[in-house]
Copies of this chain bind each other. A is one copy, B any other.
């Protein structure tokens, strides 16, 4: 696989794509700050360079030797910033993305009460479970579409964007319709059929690391989504399974700089699984205090905290580490 890159006019981009697809490959046009990369996938062996680099507007043709292609910084050097129409919240921009909400949506009252608190404290994204992947078939499996409707109402009321998990093709259909970000959970990180379906969705995908996924497997799962044409992938570290028994999972923070070195995709941290058997994640009562700390720490590492109005402030389940600007 190799990539033709350039910063072509729309007409040129169209011609490239046409040419590439006429060769039987798939073209992925991913614009960056300084040039547009056009990824080529679907080739069996090496793409014959001559056919591409002689086209007008092509700066260079790069062969990506890593197993992940579209995910790689070789393909796109700029950080990917996932943004939302009518909102200044982003994943991957200088502002921290703050995602908060209850494990499961249990009722309209519960959802609105939590939403009011976390919105006031500065969360830009509201996450709640509509479809819950539960270890036991006899446990509550979520309110399903009713929960999606409640979250849509939360968005209407508070302006927060909605993040929620899809567990199969059927639920993904509905999540795509109602939510702003489609979450793929840790247990489905290698459910390749679901990843491909998410790759055909028109909404960004928040992909959680599997419980025992290596860095490469994690990036390859993102590649599955991107290979189908959805380039808005947000990675999420949530802890891995180890012998350690004082927490349910061991949060692997060293993954963050490793991902940032290899990939242009944004990555966030979900501390709710890695911090203990009892829920050690700050519930809304303590959320204000956490946000006040994040607000002070963020600028130290070159990040900002997007605010709403003047009562503003605050902050982030997103990682505080500096993202390299490459």
Q: Are the CB atoms of A240 and B244 closer together than 8 Å?
A: yes
Indicate whether A312 reaches chain B with its CB closer than 8 angstroms.
Answer: no
Q: Are the CB atoms of B254 and A275 closer together than 8 Å?
A: yes
Q: Complex: how many Å from CA A243 to CA B136?
A: 20
Indicate whether A308 reaches chain B with its CB closer than 8 angstroms.
Answer: no
Residue-wise, chain A 138-176 has the 8 Å CB interface mask toward B (1 for contact) of 100000000000000000000000000001111100000
Q: Are the CB atoms of B280 and A257 closer together than 8 Å?
A: yes
Indicate whether A177 reaches chain B with its CB closer than 8 angstroms.
Answer: no
Q: Are the CB atoms of B255 and A253 closer together than 8 Å?
A: no
**With A240-B250, A246-B214, A258-B247 in contact, is A1–B138 under 8 Å at CB?**
yes
A sample of 28 cross-chain residue pairs with beta-carbon separation below 8 angstroms, ordered by A number, consists of: A1-B138, A41-B137, A42-B138, A69-B138, A133-B190, A133-B192, A135-B220, A136-B223, A137-B192, A137-B223, A137-B224, A137-B227, A188-B190, A191-B191, A191-B194, A211-B212, A212-B241, A240-B244, A241-B243, A242-B252, A243-B243, A246-B258, A247-B258, A250-B252, A251-B253, A251-B254, A254-B274, A296-B300
Q: Complex: how many Å from CA A242 to CA B244?
A: 9
Indicate whether A110 reaches chain B with its CB closer than 8 angstroms.
Answer: no
- The interface residues of chain B lying within 8 Å CB-to-CB of A252 are 242, 244, 250
Indicate whether A245 reaches chain B with its CB closer than 8 angstroms.
Answer: yes
Q: Are the CB atoms of A192 and B167 closer together than 8 Å?
A: yes
Tell me what chain A mostly uses at the interface: helix, strand, loop, or mixed: loop
Indicate whether A283 reaches chain B with its CB closer than 8 angstroms.
Answer: no
- The interface residues of chain B lying within 8 Å CB-to-CB of A196 are 137
Among residues of B, the one whose C-beta sits closest to the C-beta of A276 is B254
- The interface residues of chain B lying within 8 Å CB-to-CB of A220 are 135-137
Give 12 A-B pairs besides A135-B217, A168-B191 with Cβ atoms closer than 8 angstroms.
Answer: A67-B135, A135-B216, A136-B220, A136-B223, A137-B228, A170-B193, A212-B241, A240-B250, A241-B243, A251-B254, A296-B297, A296-B300
